[in-house]
Amino acid sequence: METTLKSEKKEVKISFDAPFVIIGEKINPTGRKKLAAALTEGDDDYVRQLAISQVEAGADILDVNVGVPGLDEVAVLPKVARLVSEVVEAPLCLDSANHKALAAALADLPGKPLVNSVNGEEKSLGAVLPVVKEFGVSVIGLTMDDSGIPNDAETRVAIAEKILERAARLGIPANDVVIDPLVLTVGADSMAAAITLQTIQLLRQEFSVNINLGASNVSFGLPDRHTVNQAFLSLAMGVGATCAITDPIKLASTIRATDLLMGRDTYGARYIGYWREHQPPKEAA
Ligand code: THG
């Protein structure tokens, strides 16, 4: 199963046989006061800098979320998405539950971005899937519905199946639906990550669809989040996740190492290439 995303100049393929795809998480104002202020005040340079630094660190795609309370997403999402698309070649992942904001951004962007997201709620299916169909793009489907986030893998898989079916009915093929089995923090429930890992395994067995994770969610509220995030991503890749929204500055090296260990990096070329490019500059003698 291959999901293809495109910007004006670049194409990114997500599949189990290809290297894991890194979606940079940092253009998201949740918990980031400086970005929330930049989005409210129109400080475009700060957003540009977040885009460029993530691509330099190894992001293949950039998530764009402008969810600041009181901010008009229908106006701001297209503006910020356009701004980002002008400074990096990476395709974008438009992170909003507002179908009008998604449609406005899609109307204004070249290529084939990833819509983030639809879920199993009737209201979401009815509003977001027609937009995905209209623009011929791909979408992330979250395994939650009107009853919330199930705390068992089987019910999450059943919601994934419902999203895939509803997409198919509108003519959206399974390879344009990336399923997100949802990551909650192990700080609140020590079984949270295990349930997500089990959902990934079941999804791979039943549908062979591409699988995304909001990986940093796993460590909210814990000390040394970085270590927990690294361990979780490796485990998730091992059971079949194919892309993640994460911090490329902190996680790209772990991801490149895990691809190498999984036999997805011939001669270790990507691992070595990544290491070479990210060596700290040598001090002058
Ligand atoms: N699935 C999908 N999309 C998602 C999520 C998901 N989008 C949003 C979120 N979850 C994934 N993105 C983030 C972005 C940042 C953080 C976590 C998840 C994060 N931020 C730090 C904080 O809030 O403390 C701040 C980091 C910083 O300063 O760099 O942890 O699950 N489809």
Q: For ligand 1, atom 16, name the residue with the nearest CA.
A: 216
Residue 94, beta-bridge partner list: 64, 115
Ramachandran bin of 163, using left for φ above 0, alpha for ψ from -120 to 50, beta for the remaining angles: alpha
Q: For ligand 1, atom 9, name the residue with the nearest CA.
A: 214
Q: Which atom of ligand 1 is nearest to the CA of 212?
A: 32
Q: Report, as an integer, the average pLDDT of 76-98.
A: 98
**CA 245 – ligand 1 centroid, Å:** 7
pLDDT-based confidence at residue 177 (cuts at 50, 70, 90): very high
Asked if omega into 253 is within 30° of 0 (cis), the reply is: no
Task: Please report the pLDDT score of residue 88 as a whole number.
Answer: 98
**CA 49 – ligand 1 centroid, Å:** 18
Above 80 in pLDDT, residue 26? yes
Distance between first and last Cα of the chain: 51
Q: Which atom of ligand 1 is nearest to the CA of 28?
A: 14
pLDDT-based confidence at residue 93 (cuts at 50, 70, 90): very high
pLDDT in tens, 113-163: 999 999 999 999 999 999 999 999 999 999 999 999 999 999 999 999 999
pLDDT in tens, 199-249: 999 999 999 999 999 999 999 999 999 999 999 999 999 999 999 999 999
Residues with CB under 6 A from ligand 1: 25-26, 28, 30-32, 95, 116-117, 140, 142, 180, 183, 212, 214, 216-217, 245
**CA 173 – ligand 1 centroid, Å:** 28
pLDDT in tens, 49-58: 999 999 999 9
The DSSP symbol for 281 reads P
**CA 27 – ligand 1 centroid, Å:** 9
**CA 93 – ligand 1 centroid, Å:** 13
Above 60 in pLDDT, residue 86? yes
Q: For ligand 1, atom 4, name the residue with the nearest CA.
A: 214
Task: Please report the pLDDT score of residue 284 as a whole number.
Answer: 62
Q: For ligand 1, atom 14, name the residue with the nearest CA.
A: 25
Q: Which residues of 17-51 are buried (b: 16+ CB within 10 A; e: fewer)?
A: eebbbbbbbbbbbeeeeebbebbeeeebeebeebb
CB–CB of 160/141 below 8 Å?
Answer: yes
Residue 204: CB partners within 8 Å, gap ≥ 6? 16, 211, 239, 240
**CA 216 – ligand 1 centroid, Å:** 6
**CA 146 – ligand 1 centroid, Å:** 23
Q: For ligand 1, atom 5, name the residue with the nearest CA.
A: 214
Above 60 in pLDDT, residue 285? no
Q: Enumerate domains of the chain plus CATH numbers.
A: 21-111 (3.40.50), 116-124+140-269 (3.20.20.20)
**CA 183 – ligand 1 centroid, Å:** 10
Q: Residue 94's closest CA among 139, 32, 58? A: 139
Give, for ligand 1, the residue of 26, 32, 144, 184 to mutate: max count of ligand atoms closer than 8 Å to Cβ. 32
Task: Please report the pLDDT score of residue 220 as a whole number.
Answer: 96
pLDDT-based confidence at residue 190 (cuts at 50, 70, 90): very high
Spatial separation of the C-alpha atoms in residues 148 and 129, rounded to whole Å: 19
Task: Please report the pLDDT score of residue 282 as a whole number.
Answer: 78
Task: Quote the mean pLDDT of the chain.
Answer: 97
Give, for ligand 1, the residue of 14, 25, 249 to mutate: max count of ligand atoms closer than 8 Å to Cβ. 25
**CA 184 – ligand 1 centroid, Å:** 11
Above 80 in pLDDT, residue 112? yes
Q: Residue 3's closest CA among 156, 132, 181? A: 132
